[in-house]
Protein backbone atom coordinates (compact mmCIF):
# COMPACT_ATOMS: atom_id res chain seq x y z
CA UNK A 1 0.00 0.00 0.00
CA UNK A 2 1.39 3.39 -1.03
CA UNK A 3 0.72 6.27 1.33
CA UNK A 4 1.12 9.93 0.50
CA UNK A 5 3.66 11.34 2.96
CA UNK A 6 2.28 14.86 2.55
CA UNK A 7 -0.99 13.78 4.18
CA UNK A 8 0.55 12.75 7.47
CA UNK A 9 1.86 16.28 8.17
CA UNK A 10 -1.68 17.38 9.05
CA UNK A 11 -1.99 14.54 11.57
CA UNK A 12 0.92 15.77 13.75
CA UNK A 13 2.47 12.33 14.15
CA UNK A 14 5.59 10.68 12.86
CA UNK A 15 5.50 8.79 9.58
CA UNK A 16 5.66 5.29 11.08
CA UNK A 17 2.75 6.00 13.42
CA UNK A 18 0.71 7.45 10.56
CA UNK A 19 1.51 4.47 8.32
CA UNK A 20 0.40 2.01 11.03
CA UNK A 21 -2.81 3.95 11.65
CA UNK A 22 -3.65 4.10 7.92
CA UNK A 23 -3.00 0.37 7.42
CA UNK A 24 -5.15 -0.46 10.45
CA UNK A 25 -7.99 1.69 9.09
CA UNK A 26 -7.89 -0.01 5.68
CA UNK A 27 -7.73 -3.43 7.33
CA UNK A 28 -10.70 -2.54 9.55
CA UNK A 29 -12.78 -1.39 6.59
CA UNK A 30 -12.19 -4.61 4.66
CA UNK A 31 -12.88 -6.81 7.70
CA UNK A 32 -16.05 -4.94 8.69
CA UNK A 33 -17.52 -4.65 5.19
CA UNK A 34 -19.97 -7.51 4.77
CA UNK A 35 -20.20 -9.41 1.52
CA UNK A 36 -23.16 -8.36 -0.61
CA UNK A 37 -26.30 -10.45 -0.11
CA UNK A 38 -26.72 -10.79 -3.85
CA UNK A 39 -24.35 -10.45 -6.79
CA UNK A 40 -25.76 -7.87 -9.22
CA UNK A 41 -25.11 -8.10 -12.96
CA UNK A 42 -24.56 -4.96 -15.04
CA UNK A 43 -27.97 -5.54 -16.63
CA UNK A 44 -29.67 -5.60 -13.21
CA UNK A 45 -27.83 -2.44 -12.14
CA UNK A 46 -28.85 -0.60 -15.32
CA UNK A 47 -32.45 -1.78 -14.89
CA UNK A 48 -32.48 -0.49 -11.29
CA UNK A 49 -30.98 2.87 -12.32
CA UNK A 50 -33.68 3.24 -15.00
CA UNK A 51 -36.39 2.35 -12.48
CA UNK A 52 -35.19 4.80 -9.80
CA UNK A 53 -33.89 7.68 -11.96
CA UNK A 54 -36.64 7.71 -14.61
CA UNK A 55 -36.11 10.45 -17.22
CA UNK A 56 -32.58 11.17 -15.93
CA UNK A 57 -31.48 7.54 -16.15
CA UNK A 58 -29.28 7.84 -19.27
CA UNK A 59 -27.12 10.49 -17.59
CA UNK A 60 -27.06 8.45 -14.39
CA UNK A 61 -25.93 5.31 -16.24
CA UNK A 62 -23.09 7.27 -17.84
CA UNK A 63 -22.06 8.66 -14.41
CA UNK A 64 -22.15 5.17 -12.84
CA UNK A 65 -20.00 3.79 -15.67
CA UNK A 66 -17.46 6.60 -15.21
CA UNK A 67 -17.42 6.32 -11.44
CA UNK A 68 -17.34 2.54 -10.88
CA UNK A 69 -17.82 0.80 -14.23
CA UNK A 70 -21.11 -0.34 -12.64
CA UNK A 71 -19.26 -2.29 -9.93
CA UNK A 72 -21.29 -2.32 -6.68
CA UNK A 73 -18.23 -3.22 -4.58
CA UNK A 74 -16.03 -0.44 -5.95
CA UNK A 75 -14.04 1.51 -3.36
CA UNK A 76 -12.49 4.75 -4.56
CA UNK A 77 -10.51 7.68 -3.18
CA UNK A 78 -8.35 5.24 -1.22
CA UNK A 79 -5.87 8.05 -0.55
CA UNK A 80 -8.54 10.02 1.31
CA UNK A 81 -9.76 9.72 4.88
CA UNK A 82 -13.27 9.67 3.37
CA UNK A 83 -13.39 6.92 0.76
CA UNK A 84 -16.11 6.55 -1.89
CA UNK A 85 -18.24 3.43 -2.22
CA UNK A 86 -20.49 1.60 -4.62
CA UNK A 87 -21.99 2.11 -8.05
CA UNK A 88 -22.13 5.92 -7.78
CA UNK A 89 -19.00 6.25 -5.59
CA UNK A 90 -20.77 7.97 -2.69
CA UNK A 91 -18.22 9.49 -0.34
CA UNK A 92 -18.54 8.23 3.24
CA UNK A 93 -18.72 11.57 5.06
CA UNK A 94 -19.84 12.14 8.66
CA UNK A 95 -23.61 11.92 8.86
CA UNK A 96 -23.90 9.73 5.77
CA UNK A 97 -25.08 6.10 5.82
CA UNK A 98 -22.85 3.21 6.88
CA UNK A 99 -20.33 1.76 4.43
CA UNK A 100 -22.31 -1.50 4.26
CA UNK A 101 -25.35 0.49 3.06
CA UNK A 102 -23.32 2.37 0.45
CA UNK A 103 -22.06 -0.95 -0.91
CA UNK A 104 -25.63 -2.20 -1.37
CA UNK A 105 -26.41 -1.41 -5.04
CA UNK A 106 -30.14 -0.73 -4.53
CA UNK A 107 -29.45 1.64 -1.63
CA UNK A 108 -26.52 3.30 -3.42
CA UNK A 109 -28.65 4.00 -6.51
CA UNK A 110 -31.51 5.47 -4.42
CA UNK A 111 -29.12 7.53 -2.29
CA UNK A 112 -27.37 8.86 -5.42
CA UNK A 113 -30.76 9.87 -6.84
CA UNK A 114 -31.55 11.72 -3.60
CA UNK A 115 -28.20 13.55 -3.87
CA UNK A 116 -29.04 14.40 -7.47
CA UNK A 117 -32.45 15.83 -6.52
CA UNK A 118 -30.78 18.17 -4.02
CA UNK A 119 -27.52 19.01 -5.83
CA UNK A 120 -27.93 18.14 -9.50
CA UNK A 121 -24.83 16.60 -11.08
CA UNK A 122 -22.45 18.55 -8.78
CA UNK A 123 -21.50 15.52 -6.59
CA UNK A 124 -20.13 13.90 -9.77
CA UNK A 125 -18.59 17.02 -11.24
CA UNK A 126 -15.82 15.44 -13.32
CA UNK A 127 -17.91 12.49 -14.52
CA UNK A 128 -20.76 14.80 -15.46
CA UNK A 129 -18.39 16.75 -17.74
CA UNK A 130 -17.17 13.50 -19.29
CA UNK A 131 -20.79 12.48 -19.89
CA UNK A 132 -21.71 15.82 -21.44
CA UNK A 133 -24.19 16.67 -18.68
CA UNK A 134 -22.74 20.13 -17.90
Q: Are residues 92 and 123 in the same domain?
A: yes
Same domain, yes or no, for 65 and 115?
A: yes
**CB atoms near residue 59 (< 10 Å):** 19
Name, in order, each residue with C-beta under 8 angstroms of 22's C-beta and a sequence gap of 6 or more. Answer: 1, 3
Q: What tens digit of pLDDT does each residue of 42-96 get?
A: 999 999 999 999 999 999 999 999 999 999 999 999 888 899 999 999 999 999 9
- The CATH number for 44's domain is 1.10.530.10
Residues 99 and 56 in one domain: yes
CA dihedral of residues 124, 126, 132, 134 (deg, nearest 10): 70
Q: Residues 23, 67: one domain?
A: no
Whole-structure pTM over 0.75, yes or no?
Answer: no
**CA-CA-CA-CA torsion sign (2, 99, 42, 115):** negative
- Same domain, residue pair 21 and 54: no
pLDDT digits (tens, 9 = 90+) for 3-23: 455 544 455 556 666 666 666
What total of structural domains would you count in the chain?
Answer: 2
Domain with 65, as residue range(s), is: 38-130
Q: What residues pair up with 84 in beta bridges, in sequence order?
A: 76, 91
Amino acid sequence: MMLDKSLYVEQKMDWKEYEQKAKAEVSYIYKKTPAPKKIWSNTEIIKEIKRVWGKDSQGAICIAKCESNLRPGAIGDKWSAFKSYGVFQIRHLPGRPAISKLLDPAFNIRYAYNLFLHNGWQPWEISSYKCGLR
